[in-house]
């Protein structure tokens, strides 16, 4: 089985703040770092750290060549990474003292995925292989349709969410992975179980994976549902929590684990990630996750 992640690669400019900047406010920051990010890059790093062989297909700017080297250092195959026109994608990230974050994204070369490039990438996949997608690149509907025609399984993380996602052919996705905001946007609902139920009814052949922060996560397909609590840790930086969860969830799913075991593994990994600063660099190894002694929320 082969896994290709067609995804974003960003330069992250991270500002550690006492609090998020308010309209009209000017404030200094405690620390500024420049690192590697983008949901695509983070998820490829998580897949590799989870022990899966993964190839990343992405488009960078000239200033972003170190992103490719970073992925290679995680053990990710980067032979499909290309250089596009103009500036690459980047993110401006504020992290407050509780570890929460807010992010401004600039798409840059992440929005230069042509159908020709996509076809060349997908030519390397066969029936039963996995294509991982996030919503930080263009031409997502085309990729899903082509994967469906080829019999390639798709894991789609609908983040960042915008209303165009409603028109995507999500009924052809194998795993639809969303948080409460994204799931709420797609369903028009706010209560987590109602969101999962609504999406499962709308996309009956798709496995719904809903992450709900401190309340854990939900898996649902049709009438079948599983819930997993979150693990209790002291968060430092939540930037890559969701991406870590996805990488480890797909490791378990690819290995044929039950949804309950897959959620538990992914929750463990993301709990460890939030105790560390940074994005891709915060993702733990599989050995760290397997050996960690963590308590679920409410047990401490």
Least confident of 16-30, 119-133, 211-225, 226-240: 226-240
Beta bridge partners of 226: 219
Asked if the model's pLDDT at residue 88 lies above 80, the reply is: yes
- Cβ atoms within 10 A of the Cβ of 66, count? 13
Beta bridge partners of 102: 94
pTM: 0.92
Mean pLDDT across 37-48: 96
Whole-number pLDDT of residue 257: 97
Whole-number pLDDT of residue 236: 86
Q: Which fold has domain 3-7+39-84+115-296?
A: 3.40.1190
Beta bridge partners of 36: 11
For 168-181, the pLDDT digits (tens) are 999 999 999 999 99
Asked if the model's pLDDT at residue 299 lies above 60, the reply is: no
Mean pLDDT across 32-56: 95
Asked if the model's pLDDT at residue 298 lies above 80, the reply is: no
CA 214 to chain CA centroid, Å, is 18
Q: Which of 19, 21, 13 is nearest to 96 (CA)?
A: 19
Q: CB of 195 within 8 A of CB of 210? A: yes
Q: Give the dihedral sign, CA 247/252/256/261.
A: negative
Mean pLDDT across 14-29: 94
Question: Alpha helices, DSSP H only, in 255-284?
Answer: 259-273
Helix (H, G, I), strand (E, B) or coil at 75: coil
What are the domain boundaries of the chain?
A: 3-7+39-84+115-296
Helix (H, G, I), strand (E, B) or coil at 37: strand
Least confident of 10-19, 21-30, 266-275, 277-286: 277-286
Whole-number pLDDT of residue 87: 96
Q: Which of 270, 287, 283 is nearest to 232 (CA)?
A: 270
Percent with pLDDT over 90 in the chain:
86
Asked if the model's pLDDT at residue 190 lies above 60, the reply is: yes
Asked if the model's pLDDT at residue 68 lies above 70, the reply is: yes
Asked if the model's pLDDT at residue 40 lies above 70, the reply is: yes
Whole-number pLDDT of residue 238: 83
Asked if the model's pLDDT at residue 197 lies above 70, the reply is: yes
Whole-number pLDDT of residue 280: 87
Q: Give the dihedral sign, CA 64/95/46/224.
A: negative
Q: CB of 288 within 8 A of CB of 272? A: yes
Q: CA-based Rg of the chain, rounded to a whole angstrom?
A: 18
Taking CA atoms, 111 is separated from 56, 140, 187, 238, in Å, by 16, 10, 26, 25
Taking CA atoms, 275 is separated from 115, 132, 280, in Å, by 39, 26, 13
* β strands within the chain, DSSP E: 3-6, 10-16, 31-37, 54-57, 59-60, 82-83, 89-95, 101-106, 130-134, 153-157, 175-179, 207-211, 217-221, 224-228, 231-232, 295-296
Percent with pLDDT over 70 in the chain:
98
The pLDDT-based confidence of 300 (bands split at 50, 70, 90) is: very low
Whole-number pLDDT of residue 239: 80
Mean pLDDT across 136-155: 98
Q: Tally DSSP H helices, then E strands, for the chain.
A: 9, 16
Whole-number pLDDT of residue 287: 94
Torsion on CA atoms 29, 31, 33, 37, rounded to nearest 10: -70
Least confident of 34-38, 59-63, 115-119, 264-268: 34-38
């Amino acid at each position: 089985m082969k896994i290709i992640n067609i995804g974003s690669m960003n330069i992250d400019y991270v500002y550690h703040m006492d609090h998020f900047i308010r309209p009209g406010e000017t404030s200094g920051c405690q620390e500024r770092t420049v690192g590697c990010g983008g949901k695509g890059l983070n998820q490829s790093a998580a897949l590799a750290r989870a022990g899966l062989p993964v190839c990343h297909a992405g488009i960078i700017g000239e200033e972003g060549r170190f992103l490719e080297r970073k992925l290679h250092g995680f053990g990710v195959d980067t032979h499909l990474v290309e250089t596009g026109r103009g500036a690459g994608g980047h993110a401006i990230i504020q992290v407050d003292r509780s570890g929460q974050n807010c992010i401004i994204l600039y798409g840059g070369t992440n929005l230069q995925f042509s159908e020709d490039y996509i076809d060349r990438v997908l030519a390397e996949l066969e029936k039963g292989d996995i294509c991982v997608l996030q919503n930080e690149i263009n031409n997502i509907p085309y990729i899903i349709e082509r994967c469906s025609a080829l019999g390639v399984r798709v894991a789609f993380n609908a983040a960042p969410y915008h209303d165009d996602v409603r028109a995507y052919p999500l009924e052809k996705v194998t795993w639809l992975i969303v948080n409460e905001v994204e799931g709420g946007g797609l369903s028009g609902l706010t209560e987590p179980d109602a969101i999962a139920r609504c999406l499962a009814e709308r996309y009956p052949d798709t496995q719904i994976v809903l992450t709900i922060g401190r309340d854990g996560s939900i898996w649902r397909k049709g009438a079948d549902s599983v819930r997993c609590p979150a693990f209790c840790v002291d968060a430092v930086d939540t930037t890559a929590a969701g991406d870590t969860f996805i990488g480890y969830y797909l490791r378990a799913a690819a290995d044929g684990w039950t949804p309950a075991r897959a959620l538990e593994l992914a929750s463990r990994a993301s709990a460890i990630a939030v105790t560390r600063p940074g994005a891709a660099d915060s993702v733990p190894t599989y050995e760290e996750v397997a050996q960690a002694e963590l308590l679920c929320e409410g047990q401490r």
